[in-house]
A and B are shown apart, each in its own frame.
Chain A
Amino acid sequence: MTRRKRPPSLTLPHKDGRTRGSRPLCLIAAFALFSFVPRAGAQLVPYTIVGDAIPASLTGSKGDPVRGRAIVANRNVGLCLLCHSGPFPEDRFQGNIAPDLSGAGARWSEGQLRLRIVDASKLNPNTIMPPFYRVGGLTRVATTYRDKPVLTAAQVEDVVAYLMTLK
């Protein structure tokens, strides 16, 4: 399985002269990074895939299942119920393109759910499931959404926390 490395941070030369000797090289290096690192890649929290999971929380803490449920149910934020159905008696219009979310927390571990939300294409390149925490390798993203993931790291954690309650 692929492991994501933490993207290299951009280090500018110090003013105190410690790196003066290598300044031209540093500038070239900085230029190269600007050219090849996706512009907003640095905005995303780096994560590590282990097997078919991202075991560690993106934020370092547990999400809030109550907020997570609200995100899942919101058609403009989580978008989940467009394709999935689930235990949402208040919503009559749920999709059936993707599996029912009921029992998701029993079928998958927290880390497995996290990777499937972050970027399910890491597991199945042909999946219809959108990547919810990715900004690179996308085509013709509308200006409003450019360089922004569908969900923030905190929102991903909230959704993971909610799905884990669906046993």
Chain B
Amino acid sequence: MQTAILDCIAGCMTLCLIGTALGAAEIPLDQRRSDSEYMSADTRAMQSDDTANPGMLAALDGETLWNEKSGATNKSCADCHGDAKTGMKGVAARYPAFFPGQNRPVDLEQRINISRVADQKAAALPAESKDLLALAVYIGLQSRGMPIAVEETAQSKPFIEAGRTIFERRQGQLNLSCAQCHDDNWGKRLGGSLVPQAQPTGYPIYRLEWQKVGSLQRRLRDCMGAMRAEPYAYDTPQLVDLEFFLMWRARGMPMETPAVRP
């Protein structure tokens, strides 16, 4: 009898624990904060002043590349798309996006390469190369201040959900999930740094730690390394799904490309 009662108490406690676990969830839309709010005033000032923001140098490089003829067709991006300031307005805010030609989502950098290969008949730019980042920054800059508009459609939903699964899954020797820090503990201190919400509003970013511009994929791979997990290789479907989920999670938040981050 006593055992039965103890079992019952143990069962209730287990249920309570499970209840607590399910309670920890997504950040309510009105509580979302740009990661720039967790930076020092100096770093924020660096981002908001275009003459001090090192990411703007990449944007200048990107503008040059936009107008440069390339590939077997000897065409520039501008030859088809015109002035990026009008033609590319709001485009980066919609990526990653479902790309019917591949029957899965692609991120902005991948979309740039699709055009290079198919339309310019040029070689794809390597992942994380200076030129690819420069073009992505330049195109991203045309959406600065616009709300992130990644769409959840019947086609894209399974990929967003796949990204969410990766975000919530524990990984690495430290057995952490992205969500445990960025959903459940944002605003607290990890060592000397405030834990941000991981809202990817400003990619490609200029990261002070890198001393250069880098992509969201690079940042995610860094995070996985810190969890002592095997990072997904560049352009793997899993990494793009994770980007897709994160941009969907930040939907409606203003774009900041090129953001500066510590």
Contact = CB atoms under 8 A, between A and B. Distances in A.
A and B associate in one complex: yes
Contacts of A160: none
A4 interface: no
Contact of B173 (A93, A96, A97, A150): A150
A105 to B, nearest CB: 23
A140 B230 contact: yes
Nearest to B10: A1
Interface residues of B, number: 29
B184 A128 contact: yes
A96 B189 contact: yes
B189 A95 contact: yes
Contacts of A106: none
B188 interface: yes
Nearest to B24: A126
A81 interface: yes
A81 B188 CA distance: 13
A84 B11 CA distance: 31
B174 to A, nearest CB: 4
A155 B229 CA distance: 22
CB-CB nearest 4 A-B residue pairs: A93-B192, A145-B173, A130-B174, A126-B21
Interface string B178-211: 0011001100111111010000000000000000
A94 B172 contact: no
A82 B228 CA distance: 15
A95 B230 contact: no
B169 interface: yes
The SS class assigned to the B binding surface is loop
B228 A142 contact: yes
Contacts of A125: 17, 21
B190 A142 contact: no
B25 to A, nearest CB: 12
B180 A95 contact: no
A131 interface: yes
8 contacts: A81-B191, A93-B191, A95-B190, A96-B189, A121-B175, A138-B173, A139-B172, A142-B228
A92 B230 contact: no
Contact of A94 (B20, B184, B189): B189
Contact of A130 (B169, B175, B191, B195): B175
Interface of A: 75, 79, 81-83, 92-97, 121, 124-126, 128, 130-131, 138-145, 148, 150
A97 B190 contact: yes
Given A95-B188, A128-B185, A142 B225 contact: yes
Interface in B11-42: 17, 20-21, 24
Contact of B191 (A94, A138, A139, A141): A94
B171 interface: yes
B112 to A, nearest CB: 29
B162 interface: no
B230 A126 contact: no
B173 A141 contact: yes
B176 interface: yes
B170 interface: yes
B185 A140 contact: no
A138 B189 contact: no
Nearest to B195: A97
